[in-house]
Structure 1
Amino acid sequence: MPIKIPNNLPATNVLESENVFVMYDNRAYTQDIRPLKILLLNLMPTKIVTETQLLRLLGNTPLQVDIDFMYTATYEPTNTSPEHLIKFYETFNDVKSRRYDGMIITGAPVEQIPFEQVAYWDELCAIMEWSKTHVFSTLHICWGAQAGLYYHYGIPKYDLPQKMFGVFPHKRLCPKHDKLFRGFDDIFYVPHSRHTEIRRSDIEKVSQLCILSESSISGIGTVADMNNRRFFITGHSEYDPFTLKTEYDRDVAQGLPIQIPYNYYPNDDPSETPVVLWRGAANLLFSNWLNYYVYQETPFDLSKL
C-alpha cells in the first residue's frame, strides 16, 4: 500500500528514486475504493489444494478481494468432487458477461501434450481472448504461462531432457523499472516442477514482451507484456512447503524416473524436513501484483475497461 504524504514534501524525490510508493494528499482524498474482483481459472486437478495456496497469498494484503472460481466446461475434473464444483465453481458461460480487475490462470499437468491436443484448448483460447476486453491484468502460472505465451504471441514450448524440479535462485533483470519485484532481494527463490520450457531466444523476437526475471539454472522466470497487463510466471511461488515432497514421494512410489528436488532437502536427504526459501518472495509477488498492477491501475468503473 502507498505512503500518504503532504504535497511537495522534500523527501518525495528520494523515496520515489528508491521505488517507495508514495501518494500525495490530494490524490488520497479523491480516491474511490471498492473490493477488487479477481477470477481464478483453476486448471489443476487438485483444485482445493490450489485454491488454498493462492487464497493464502491473495489474502495477505490490506486489500479486499472478491474471488470467483472457474473451471473448464469441456473437461470434467476427476480429482475434485462434483459437489465442490457445483457449490463453488462456475463455467465460462456463467462469467463471460462480467468484468474483472484481475484473473489468474493456473498451471495444469498437460505440459507434454501439444497445446492443440489438450481437451479444453479451444475453450481456454476463448477465455484468453475474452480476457483482452474483460480483465484488466492477468497472471499466468507455469503451464498457464506457456499456454498464454503461445496463444498471444506464438511462443513455443520445448521438452526438457529431465524434469525441472526443485527450488531455484532467480535474479531481477530490471530492478529500477519493475514494480512486480519491488522489495525483493537481489537473489530470490522460486519452486519449479515442469517437463517443458520456454526460451529466451523466442521471447526476444517479440517486441511486445520483456523478461523480468531469470535463473541461470531453471531459465526464464517471469515475462510481462509492455503494458503490464499480462504476466507469465514459469514457476510455482504459491507452492506449500511440502508440495514438492508430495510430488517426489508420489513419483518414487510409482517407480517413475525422478531426481531429488534441487535445493529443497537439507543435504539432498529426502528423510529431512524441506527448507522453505520462497515464502517471503511469494507473498511480495502477489501483493505487488494486486497493488501496483490491479488496485492502482484498474478503472473504478469496470465497464470502462
Structure 2
Amino acid sequence: MTPQTAPLSAQQSILMPGGHNMRTLIGVIAIMAFLAGLALLFSRATLRLSGDWNTQLSRSMTVQVSLSPLAAENNFDTQMRVAADSLRGIIGDKAKISIVDQSASQALIKPWIGNLELPESLTLPGLISIEMAEDGSLPSINRLESQLQQAGIVASIDDHSRWANQIQDTARNFVLSGIALLALLLMAAIGVNLFATRASMAAQRSIISVLAQVGATDSFIAKLFIGQAARRSAIGAGIGLLMLILVWSLLSFSLISEAMFWSSLNPIFADIMWISGLWIAFILFCSLAAGVATKRALIQDRKRA
C-alpha cells in the first residue's frame, strides 16, 4: 500500500502529534476565535440596537411651543392644553400626545447649565411628545406647523431625523470597526498557522524525507499538514467560540439591554449561524495557510537539492 492510498486514519498518524506545542497553538487559536466572534456579535448587536432606536424615532416627534411670558405665572397649563388639543385635532387618535411638565423640561437642559439658576423672567418653551401607533404614520412637519399657526400657536417641530442619522452613522462606524478587527484576527490566525506549519516541517524533516523516498508526492505531504492544521483550528476555534456563546448568554441574562443581547429566539439562531460560519472560516483559512506553507517549503527544498 503506497502512502497515497493509505487510509485517512493511517495518514493522520504519520506526523508527530506536537505535544505541548500543539496545545499552545490550539490555545492561541481559541483566543483569536473568541475575540473575532466577540467583534462579530457586537457588530450584529449594534445593528439590532440602532435598528430598534431608528424604528422608535421614526414614529415620534417633539413639539416645542413658544409660550407667552404669562405662562410663567398660572397660564402654562392652559396654553399647553390648547396646543395639545390642536395637535390631537390634526393627528387624530393614532398617536399618544403627552405634555412634558416644566420640571422635566428644566431637567433636560441641566446637563448644559449645571446647577445654574435660571432667571424667573426666562420662560422655557413648552414641550409636547408625540408617539405614533405602529399602524399610524406621522404627518408632515410643514402641515403641523401651518395648522398650529392658524390656531395661534407658535411652535417648532423636530421629527428626530437628524438624531436618527447620527445613530446610523455611529452604528456604521462600529460595524466597520468590528469587520476590520475580525479581518485582522483572521489574518493573524493565517500567520500563526504559516509559522506553525513551517516549524512542524522543520521538526519532522526526517519523516518528510522518508515519505519522499517511498514515492509520496508533494500533494500527499501537503495534505498531511493541511489535515493537521484543520484539526488544530477546528478544536481551537471551536473552544473559543463555545466560550463566547457561554459568555454572551450570561451577559444576556444579567444585562437589561434586550436589543443588544439575546432576548428572543430569532437573534439567537441568527447569531449562532454566523458563529458557525466563522468557525468554518477559521478552519478553511488555517488549512489554506498550511497548504501554501507546505507547498512553498517543498519547492524551496527541491531547489536547494
TM-score normalized by structure 2? 0.24
- Greater RCO between the two (CA within 8 Å, min separation 6)? 2
Rg larger for: 2
Structure with greater strand share of residues: 1
Structure with greater helix share of residues: 2
TM-score normalized by structure 1? 0.24
